[in-house]
Amino acid sequence: MENKKALKLIDSIQSNLDATGINTDTLIDDIKQLRTYVLELEVPLAVKVLRYAYEHIEANDSFLIPIPEDSPIEDEDIDVDTTEASTLDPVESLKYLIALIGNLENSMNILDLKYYKKALMDY
Each residue's pLDDT, cut to its tens digit, for the chain (123 residues) gives: 889 999 999 999 999 999 999 999 899 999 999 999 999 999 999 999 999 999 999 999 999 999 998 755 555 555 555 444 446 899 999 999 999 999 999 999 999 999 999 999 999
CA distance 9 to 6: 5
Q: How many domains does the chain have?
A: 1
CA distance 19 to 123: 27
CA distance 122 to 80: 8
Task: Say which amino acid occupies 44.
Answer: P
CA distance 34 to 90: 19
Q: What's the whole-model pTM score?
A: 0.87
Neighbours of 87 (CB within 10 A): 7
| Residues spanned by the domain of 93 | 4-122
